[in-house]
Amino acid sequence: MKYYPSIPLRAACACIPLLCVHMPLMWADETDPEAADSHHESLDSEDLPDTQGRNVVAPEDSALQQRRGSLAAARAQARAQRSGEDDVVVASDQGPWRFDGRLALGGGYDSNPQRRGRIIDSEADGEPVAKIDGLLRASWYGAHNRLSLAMSGSHDHVIDDSDAHTANLGGTASMRHLWQVGQQVGTLTGIVDSRRWMVGDDLVAWSHTAIGEVSLIQSRQVHTLSTRVMHVRYDGDRGDDGTGAWLGWRGWFLFADDQPLPRLEIRGRVGNWWADHSYVSVAGSAAFVWRSTPEPRLGTLDLEFGAGFEARRYDSDDLAIDGEAQLLLDAGVEAGIWVHPLLKVGTYTRGLISESDVEVYDYDRIEVGGMLIATF
């Protein structure tokens, strides 16, 4: 049975990336409120950033990816304003239940899938990686409320290194309440998620997450405050169990009234992770999202680029780690073309740099690849 060390070999562990994600950011139809926020409410498995080898499972969500939860409310506001309704409700001919999902297949090249530190393995070979990601969701609508139940999972298969494979499968439940006063729309959202994690050939951990959010939507802005608590429990002595809490803000800035594309997205977050190797963190990111047509159709082009950072200060009984300062920087560019209103071909390029007071934890990583993304 494998043991997944916390230190000093954290850079050799297979983890989930920090601010960018393995899959393209633009999976869903950004003009469809239900498709677009399916990422947010499933927690998207791969959205969890790595702990830089201290643990296999990440303690927190992606700064670049966790931006999609307010889009449904923004679109609901736009529909209400256009129709002149005082209340935002589901059309009667649609019925109370809706079902949606996605499936993404693809892969590419990863220069450093296990995040080996430069001083440990300065000439680490890159690896080809195959990827699959999926989500199924059922949603019930009742006037101002929506209840959603979803199952999602993903698998990254590192072709030439079975120890670096990562996979997860989990379930998510969410409740959203939408209210409208004049031209203002607000939402209250609660989300719970439980997920099982695998690394290599072994099941290694459970993660349990609870999120609360409040959003205020205007014609050209969406502002969301969120709180998040997460607990990671490893099987046996496979890793360092821990609990984290975060407070975050994200803002969406639209270029036309009630039109979600194009837009600028900005996000900030502060938090604390309590474990044998605890840390406090401050993170932020910005991204620009563009689409060539209001609705996806044959030939529609998508483009997204963004950058983010996270600064961590560690607290540990290990003198080699205590007081360590770590700065993580990443950037990514993604593009796609729709070959059908429900099918897109996308490409991605991402880079990640870790700089630390502890030299063994300095590393860099580059990912390039493509995906075939179906939404339904």
Q: Which two tokens stand for residue 57?
A: 């499972």
Determine contact, residues 145/43, Cβ cutoff 8 Å. Answer: no
Give the per-residue pLDDT at 182.
Answer: 73
Q: Which two tokens stand for residue 143?
A: 């006037």
Q: pLDDT by residue (tens digit) across 190-225?
A: 999 999 998 888 888 899 999 999 999 888 898 999
Whether the predicted pLDDT of 37 surpasses 90: no
pTM of the model: 0.78
Element (H, E) at 254: strand 242-256
Provide the residue count of the chain.
Answer: 376
> Is the C-alpha dihedral spanning 78, 83, 87, 90 positive or negative?
negative
Give the per-residue pLDDT at 360.
Answer: 74
Distance CA 249, CA 251 (A): 7
Whether the predicted pLDDT of 309 surpasses 50: yes
**Percent of the chain residues topping a pLDDT of 90:** 46
Determine contact, residues 217/70, Cβ cutoff 8 Å. Answer: yes
Q: Which two tokens stand for residue 198?
A: 């695998």
Q: Which two tokens stand for residue 53?
A: 């080898």
Whether the predicted pLDDT of 134 surpasses 60: yes
Determine contact, residues 88/180, Cβ cutoff 8 Å. Answer: yes
Q: How far is CA 161 from the centre of its chain?
A: 25
| Alpha helices, DSSP H, located in 214-312 | none
CA distances from 53 to 14, 16, 18, 58, 59 (A): 7, 10, 11, 9, 12
Four-CA torsion 287, 292, 294, 297, nearest 10 degrees: -120
Give the per-residue pLDDT at 125.
Answer: 66
Distance CA 180, CA 234 (A): 43
Task: Tell me what the pLDDT averaged over the chain comes to.
Answer: 76
Give the per-residue pLDDT at 268.
Answer: 95
Give the per-residue pLDDT at 33.
Answer: 34
All domains in the chain, ordered by first residue: 10-375 (2.40.160)
Q: How far is CA 105 from the centre of its chain?
A: 17
Whether the predicted pLDDT of 366 surpasses 80: yes
CA distances from 167 to 139, 215, 258, 284 (A): 25, 32, 37, 27
